[in-house]
Structure formats: structure tokens, C-alpha cells
Structure 1
Amino acid sequence: MNYEQYNRQSFDNLIQIQEKFKETFEIDSYANWFYDGETELLRLYNNDDDEIYFKYVSVGTHSLKSETWMWSWFNKHSIEKSKNQLLVVKEFGIENNYEKLHNGTFSSDEYDGWELSSICLNFVNGIGVYKVNTDNLDIFMLITNLVDKSSPEIKKLKQKTVDCGSHGYSRPAFVCQHLNLESPKGFEEAFETYLGMELDEEDDFQAWCSECEKVRTEYNGWNEESEKFAGIKLICENCYFELKDFNQTNLLG
């Protein structure tokens, strides 16, 4: 069987699985998502009372900028341990000379992500596939099972996240006291970011306004005085990117 035939067979199977997955869990009814690479948990939610959790296996990403696919097992920034389960797919690709299954990265479009995820379902038991949309990436996840909201895993997740009144549980972020959604004040970051990006363990979302940047420069970096002026506060990841969009867009406009 050539790759096109195998791919079509797998994709037809995914269509049936996906229909049942979406119908059973009403996936399209949730407006928001959050995932945590350490616990490999995906949260879909509208609010704290309307939410659902799944375990997932990271399949890979499609870059919207470079139009390339990258397998999770090839991605050094992917921290999910379960990605190693997909090495069997890579070996299968080598044995059958299916290049897309054993090449770590290659030119692609969004459909490759769905097709490759469907093939992974032949090797890893799953109940569906979910695609997380970020500014730069489409992230494909193989959903393995539903997780009870009262489980120790969920409790652990909530302990390491911020409980935001507007967005529910999300990753923490840190901004200066001057940034708001009323008047644009610039937006300086520790490093370039986008919503949903994977962070190294030692990294956090950090941003400050243009005035804070002037003070920071005067003191040759962060110290007691520059930090006092900044008055860094804790917010959630979603609030962070709302501030980023407002303060960058309106300042330029």
C-alpha cells in the first residue's frame, strides 16, 4: 500500500472517530482552550462552571509563517513526555518509506496535521483529535481520555495556574503596574511571545511599559529602584495578550 492509500484509509477512520468525539463531548460548544505541557492536560471551557478536561498526546505543529510541519518528537521545545509514544509511527514510516512519517519537519499545510494525526490513531488509542489555534501555530493533539475535574491531576494543574476572574485558570504572567486597557503605554517584553506558545521551565511571560523601559535602562537593568517603579503584578496569560494587543496596536495607530 502506498502512502496516499494508507493516508486516505486512516483519514476516513478519523472522520468517524471525530464525529463521535465532537458529538459526545460537545467540543464545538467551548469558546476557550488552555493546555499544560507538563501535565499533558487540555482544558476546554466557557467559564469555571462550564469546562471539560482531557489527557492528550502532542502530535506536532503546523507553522503558519513558514508553512512547515514539525513532529513533536523532533521539537526540542516540546516538553510533553508522551510524544515518545509516537516514535513507533516514525519507525513505521522508515520501514515503509513513508517520508512524512519519519522526517522531523517538512513543507506542509493545515491538512497535513489532520492527516498525520489520523495515522497516529492507528498506533495510539485515542478518542479524537483537537487543534489549538495560536497566532503562529496550529497545534495538533491526540485526545486519549476524559479526566474527572476532581482528580489529583486537575488539582495539581490549578495549583500552578492563575485563577483569573475573566478567563478562569490560565498560565501566570507578569506586567508592570502601568499597563492597562485604557491608554496605550507601549509594551516591552523579556522575549517575543504569542498566545499559547510553549515556554521553557525557567521562562515566564513578562512585560512592562515604555516608561519602565526608560527607568530600567537608566539603572542598567532591573534592580530595587527600577522594580519599585515598575510595581510588577501577577495576571493570567490571556489578560497579558489582551494588554499586548491594546498597547501595541493603539500606540502604533
Structure 2
Amino acid sequence: MNYEEFGKLKCEELLKVQNIFRENFKIDSYANWFYDSETELLRLYNDDEDEIFFRYIPVGTFSLKSRTWMWSWFNESSIEKSKTELLVVKEFGNENNYEKLKEGTFASDEYDGWELASICLDFLNGIGVYKVDTDNLEKYMLIMGIENHDSPKVRKLKQKVVECGKHGHSRPAFVCDHLDLETPKGFEEAFDTYKGMELEEEDDFQAWCNECEKIRLEHDGWNEESEKFAQIQLICEDCYFELKEFNQIK
């Protein structure tokens, strides 16, 4: 069987599994998502009373900008340990000379992600596939099962996040006290961000308004005076990106 026939067969099998997955867990009913690479958990939620946690294996990513696919086992930035489980798929690709299964990265399109995920689902007995969309990047996850709300992994995950009255538990972020959803004031960041991005261990989402940026530059950076003017506040990641969308002056 050539690769095109094999891939088509696995996509047809995924369609059946995916329909059951969507129906059983009502995944389309959740407005928000968050995943943690360290615990390898995906959280789908509307609020803290309406949430579900899944264990996942990262399959790979498709870049909308470069139009390329990258397997997670090839991606040095992917810290999930479970990605090595995909090497059985790579070995199968080597045995059958299926280029897309044995090459770490290659020119691709949006359809390859689902096809490659469908093959992984068959090999690793997943219960479904979930795709996370961020700026110019699609991340495909093989869902392996539900994680109980009171499990050590979930408790560890919630220790790493802040509790927001509006959004529930989400990653922490820091903004100046002047940013709000009433009047756009500009949005300066420590580095370019997008929702759901993976952060280095020492990094946090940080932003401040245009006036804070003027004061910061006048004082050659952050010091006691510029920080006093900014009055940095702790918020959640979801609030951060709401502020970013509203305050960016285009």
C-alpha cells in the first residue's frame, strides 16, 4: 500500500473516532483551552465549574507562515517527554519508506496535520485529536484519556496558575495599573506574545501602557521610580490578551 492510500485509510478511521470523541466529551461546548507542556495536560473550560482535563501526546505543528510541518520528536522546543512515543511511527515510516513519517520537518499544508495525527492515533490507541490554533501555528495533540480533577497532575497544574473571577484558572500575567477596557492606552510588551504560546521558565507575560513606556525610557529602564508609576498588577492570561486586543493602537 502506498502512502497516499494508507493516509486516506487512517483519516477515514479518525473521522469515526473523532465523531465519538466530540460527542462523548462535548469538546465543542468549551470556549477556552490551555495546555501545559510539563504536566502534558490539556484543559478545556468555560469556567472553574465547567472544565475537563485530558492527557495528551504532542504530535507536531504546522506553520501557517512557512507552510511546513514539524514532528514533535524533531522539535527541540517541545519539552513533553511523551513525544518519544511517536518514534514507533517514525520507525514504521522507515520500514515502509513513507517520507512524511520519517522526515522531521517538510513542506506541508493544513491537511497533513490531521492525516499524521490519524496515523499516530492508530499506533498509540488515542481517543481523539485536538488542534490548538495560535498565531501562525497549529499544534496537533493526540488525546490519550481524561485526567481526574483531583489528580496530582491537575493539582500541580493549578499551582502554576492564578485564579481569576472571570476566567477561572489561567497562567499569570503582569500589566501596569493604567491598562483597562475603557480607553486604548497602547500596549508595550517585554516580548512579542500570542495566546497559548509556550514560555521559557524564567518568562512571564508582561505589558504596560504608552505613558509607562515614556517613564521607563526616561529612567533608563525599570527602577524604583518607573515601577512606582506603573503599579504593576497580577492578572490572568485571558485578561491579558483581552487588554492587548483592546489597547493596541494600530
TM-score, normalized by the shorter chain, greater than 0.5:
yes
Who is 1:102 aligned against?
102
Distance 1:27 1:213 in 2: 41
Deviation at 1:58, TM superposition (A): 0.6
Distance 2:47 2:20 in 1: 24
Residues 2-21 of structure 1, C-alpha deviations (whole Å, 9 max, x = no match): 11111112112111211111
Distance 2:188 2:229 in 1: 15
Deviation at 1:95, TM superposition (A): 2.4
Alignment of 1:86-97 (within 5 A): 86-97=86-97
Who is 2:145 aligned against?
145
Who is 2:60 aligned against?
60
Distance 1:133 1:182 in 2: 28
Distance 1:242 1:107 in 2: 34
Residues 14-48 of structure 1, C-alpha deviations (whole Å, 9 max, x = no match): 11211111111111121211111111111111221
1:73 aligns with 2:44: no
Who is 2:227 aligned against?
227
Who is 2:241 aligned against?
241
Who is 1:111 aligned against?
111
Who is 1:17 aligned against?
17
State how many pairs are aligned: 250
TM-score where L is the length of structure 1: 0.94
The letter for the 2-side match of 1:233 is Q
Distance 2:17 2:46 in 1: 24
Who is 2:170 aligned against?
170
Deviation at 1:116, TM superposition (A): 0.3
Residues 49-70 of structure 1, C-alpha deviations (whole Å, 9 max, x = no match): 1111100001111122222211
Residues 140-191 of structure 1, C-alpha deviations (whole Å, 9 max, x = no match): 1000011111212111111110111111111111111111111111111111
Distance 2:217 2:127 in 1: 52
Distance 1:178 1:86 in 2: 47
Residues 66-103 of structure 1, C-alpha deviations (whole Å, 9 max, x = no match): 22211112222222111111122222222222111122
Report the 3-state secondary structure (helix = DSSP H, G, I; strand = E; otherwise coil) of the residue aligned with 2:73.
helix
Deviation at 1:114, TM superposition (A): 0.5
Distance 2:6 2:41 in 1: 30
Report the 3-state secondary structure (helix = DSSP H, G, I; strand = E; otherwise coil) of the residue aligned with 1:181.
coil
The letter for the 2-side match of 1:67 is R
Contact map agreement 1:78 1:198 (CA 8 A) in 2:
no
The letter for the 1-side match of 2:190 is A
Deviation at 1:104, TM superposition (A): 1.7
Contact map agreement 1:172 1:235 (CA 8 A) in 2:
yes
The letter for the 1-side match of 2:33 is W
Stretch of structure 1 that moved more, 111-120 or 205-214:
205-214
TM-score where L is the length of structure 2: 0.96
Residues 91-139 of structure 1, C-alpha deviations (whole Å, 9 max, x = no match): 2222222111122222222211100000111321211101112232211
Report the 3-state secondary structure (helix = DSSP H, G, I; strand = E; otherwise coil) of the residue aligned with 2:123.
coil
Distance 1:235 1:109 in 2: 37
Distance 1:201 1:209 in 2: 25
Identity %: 71
Who is 2:179 aligned against?
179
Distance 1:167 1:149 in 2: 17
